[in-house]
Structure 1
Amino acid sequence: MAFLVAGTLRVAAHMADAQDSLARKGTYSLRAPRAALTICSPEVPDSTVAILEATLQALGFHSCQRREASAQGFLGELARFREQLDAQGGPVSCALVALVAPREQLRRPQLLVRELSRCEALQGHPKILLLLSSAPRAAPEPGAFLTGLRELCGRCPHWSLLQLLTEVFGLASRESCRASYCPVLRSSLRGTLFLQEAGLWDQEEGSPGAQYDLSGARAALILAVLRERPGAQRDVEALRGLCESLGFQTVLRTDPTAQDFQEELAQFRERLHTCRGPVGCVLVALMAHGGPRGQLLGADGEEVQSEALVRRLSRCRALRGCPKIFLLQACRGGHRDAGMGPAVSPRFWRWLRPSPPTPSHADVLQICADAPGGPTPESLDLADVLRVYAATEGYVAYRGERGSDFIQTLVEVVRAYPGEDLLELLAEVSRQVCALDVLGPDCSEPRKACPEVRSSLRRRLCLSRAGVAAPGCANSGSPLTHSRPVGRGASPSDLVQVSNPQPDAGS
């Protein structure tokens, strides 16, 4: 009996902590213990490990395990770390795993992410994976990146982790002598993460001052397949209205073929080149059925690669140094996520109110400090890029008659707080989307969707219309605006809950 009572109380405490992990209106609670693990390949210098451990302490991880392993042993070491956390019998408020190895050994981080996400003690809590290349010519050297992060933590303890990383990305890329250097983060966080205790109380100290200058022209391109995608029209209208309210001149093309996707993007890029003044910001929304290899299906059923479109526009000379936002409402595979909840014996359900499940890949932050040639090859041309996906890699993105949860929630949140940091707003979008249950057309059980953010932004990005200059592009009276009629949409407040959702998957 004592064992049963102890087990029940332990599960109840776990549930209460999971329910409270985002109780501060989208801010993670870090009241439970934290855990950190460093896995280094044998050739990593001790000096680099020492700097890493000092940085982890500055971030609030006061004790850190250190293990040495070859690339083949990384997954096994992480599995042992996960088992150790689960064996403690209580929740862990945050876990950070740092991998330091030659660049070629860091190519498959998703296997490690899946292993860490299996940890029951971390369900509903942030999981951070830091990838550092130990290559002799890494740009910058791992120690330089870590030192910058540690010093910034000391000066600005009230900044969130995403704000700290954005600032460090900017400092690192400006100081790097290699033109190909571009750090990047990949996030499914559902809230703001302050690793310093001061972050919860010292908000009056202000936010990062380094912001993108959005006083130049703003341009948006919306390419949306409406055919056989019920509700897509609602998304188009909601997003178009948001863009125009924020001062973006908007190009809208509905039902593009695969060739049209490429041609419209090329024409959009050419218009940007002919602008008389500087371009402040661009936004591109791609909405279509999708597939597991990043392909989008045009209205003709032919495929076009979304990543190729992103790279093509990102390399536009007129956009060097300005933020480029890509929104992708499309499936990225066929997996349907039932979500994860605490493991509880059925006999306990009558006494305990279970916490709602969270998507399996939520609450993860990957930081690639030396991206070229590594897990997500980037170049300076792809700096200042923000990609936002409606679903994590390999999973279905849902859409219903009243639109998609992702687009409708994003529009509602940005309309409400246009002057806030967009990265933080996207975490709030993820929180709201992840809280919803959807019923797909081919299953009777509730399913979950989890947006994913990839960012190489180097400054704070706020889309407030304040300070927007009059657009100044050549060759027209209304140079960046044309569309086919798509009908009226509904207000954002009508569109948050999806009914009878359909997956945006390709055939």
Structure 2
Amino acid sequence: MSGPLRGFCLIVNNFDFSSAKLSNRTGTDIDAGSLRRVFTWLGFQVEVVQDATSAKMLSSMEKLASRDHSGMDCVACVVLSHGLEGGVYGVDGGVVLLEKLKWYVNGEQCRSLIGKPKLFFIQACQGTEEEKAVLVPADGPVNPEVHAQTDGPSSPGVHTQTDGPSSPGVHTQTDGPSSTGVNSQTDGPSSTGEIRSDTKNGAWFIQSLCENLVLLVPRNKDLLSILTEVNNDVSKKSDPNSSMRQMPQPIHTLRKSVFFPVPEELPPSL
């Protein structure tokens, strides 16, 4: 990344689901604040959309895609909401498919993003079953409780198609809308509700993401290495009131490693 600006970062922060008769997402404002500070520090132009309906989420993505990204290195979108497999809820209860969100910034819809990473970070439950800790044999990892689904293949049938250059010989779906798309829980066993550390500290996934970006970008770690460390952090956390666990799932079609330039400013306090 060598552009004058890193790119635009859209944060959709959905808290108030009272009209949809879903629980309000207490603690999400903590996540949105942390994300705003960290992505601003990384050089992004950050916009936060608060309590978006399904239509507002789509129109916000359309607006993002309509901008000129020619002087930008990448684009980022973060969605903090309730979800279901393959989609997220607007505060009106309407469902927006993740593939639809990504469609707006593919190379055909947004030519100035061709060949540039499109980074999606999704904090939303994506399934109906609970993840639980399992005991590891004595010759396994030192940590006595490790997430039941770690260090293994992605869920069958999960493939994120992303967008990039349309030059001959290059797949048109690379480097794109989910090049490091991360769902806090995706396509497979996952909790029935969003697992949070507590309402004061925000979601495990988002807070670990922010902390590791602040810690590891100055150490010249690439984004996928940072996300691996986020997986490690989150897999060790558990709800004190239950045995439920959480595992982020990075999905990407990157053709190059993504390194954020080290900001000259001091990192934000989280």
Q: How does 1:433-444 map to 2 (within 5 A)?
A: 433-439=234-240, 444=241
| Further displaced range: 230-239 or 379-388 | 379-388
- In structure 2, relative to structure 1, the CA distance for the partners of 1:450 and 1:377 (3 Å cut) is closer
C-alpha separation in 2, matches of 1:231 and 1:216: 30
- Residue 168 of structure 2 corresponds to none
Is residue 2:50 matched to residue 1:254? yes
Structure 2 contact 51–91 (Cα < 8 Å) conserved? yes
C-alpha separation in 1, matches of 2:136 and 2:11: 40
- In structure 2, relative to structure 1, the CA distance for the partners of 1:242 and 1:297 (3 Å cut) is same
**1:314 counterpart letter in structure 2:** N
Structure 1 contact 341–355 (Cα < 8 Å) conserved? no
Structure 2 contact 121–182 (Cα < 8 Å) conserved? yes
C-alpha separation in 2, matches of 1:320 and 1:287: 26
2:30 corresponds, among 225, 234, 259, to: 234
Structure 2 contact 159–251 (Cα < 8 Å) conserved? no
- In structure 2, relative to structure 1, the CA distance for the partners of 1:245 and 1:217 (3 Å cut) is closer
RMSD: 2.6
The offset of 1:215, in angstroms, is: 4.6
2:161 corresponds, among 368, 375, 378, to: 378
**1:383 counterpart letter in structure 2:** T
Q: How does 1:67-466 map to 2 (within 5 A)?
A: 212-227=1-16, 228-272=24-68, 275=69, 277-292=70-85, 294-315=86-107, 316-342=110-136, 355-366=143-154, 376=159, 378=161, 380-384=171-175, 385-394=179-188, 395-396=190-191, 397-399=194-196, 400-401=198-199, 402-418=201-217, 419-439=220-240, 444-465=241-262
- In structure 2, relative to structure 1, the CA distance for the partners of 1:265 and 1:416 (3 Å cut) is same
- Residue 33 of structure 1 corresponds to none
Give the aligned length. Answer: 238
The offset of 1:359, in angstroms, is: 1.6
C-alpha separation in 2, matches of 1:407 and 1:381: 30
C-alpha separation in 2, matches of 1:330 and 1:299: 13
SS of 1:358's equivalent in the other structure is strand
- In structure 2, relative to structure 1, the CA distance for the partners of 1:360 and 1:319 (3 Å cut) is same
The offset of 1:362, in angstroms, is: 1.1
The offset of 1:302, in angstroms, is: 1.2
Structure 1 contact 332–391 (Cα < 8 Å) conserved? yes
**2:77 counterpart letter in structure 1:** V
Q: TM-score, normalising length from structure 1?
A: 0.44
The offset of 1:303, in angstroms, is: 1.1
Deviations 1:198-231 (A, max 9, x none): xxxxxxxxxxxxxx54555511000110111000
Structure 1 contact 218–249 (Cα < 8 Å) conserved? yes
The offset of 1:304, in angstroms, is: 1.0
**1:446 counterpart letter in structure 2:** S
SS of 2:244's equivalent in the other structure is coil
The offset of 1:447, in angstroms, is: 1.6
The offset of 1:438, in angstroms, is: 1.3
Deviations 1:75-131 (A, max 9, x none): xxxxxxxxxxxxxxxxxxxxxxxxxxxxxxxxxxxxxxxxxxxxxxxxxxxxxxxxx
Stretches of structure 2 that go unaligned for 5 or more consecutive residues are 17-23, 163-170
**2:121 counterpart letter in structure 1:** L
**2:120 counterpart letter in structure 1:** F
Structure 1 contact 221–285 (Cα < 8 Å) conserved? yes
**2:12 counterpart letter in structure 1:** L
Q: TM-score, normalising length from structure 2?
A: 0.80
- Residue 113 of structure 1 corresponds to none
Structure 2 contact 5–43 (Cα < 8 Å) conserved? no
C-alpha separation in 1, matches of 2:61 and 2:53: 12
SS of 2:133's equivalent in the other structure is coil
- In structure 2, relative to structure 1, the CA distance for the partners of 1:398 and 1:330 (3 Å cut) is same
Stretches of structure 1 that go unaligned for 5 or more consecutive residues are 1-211, 345-353, 369-373, 468-489, 493-507
C-alpha separation in 2, matches of 1:267 and 1:291: 25
C-alpha separation in 2, matches of 1:392 and 1:296: 12
Structure 1 contact 235–408 (Cα < 8 Å) conserved? yes
Structure 2 contact 3–71 (Cα < 8 Å) conserved? no
Structure 1 contact 320–381 (Cα < 8 Å) conserved? no
Tell which structure's C-alpha radius of gyration is larger.
1
The offset of 1:367, in angstroms, is: 11
SS of 2:238's equivalent in the other structure is coil
SS of 1:364's equivalent in the other structure is coil
SS of 2:103's equivalent in the other structure is helix
The offset of 1:389, in angstroms, is: 1.2
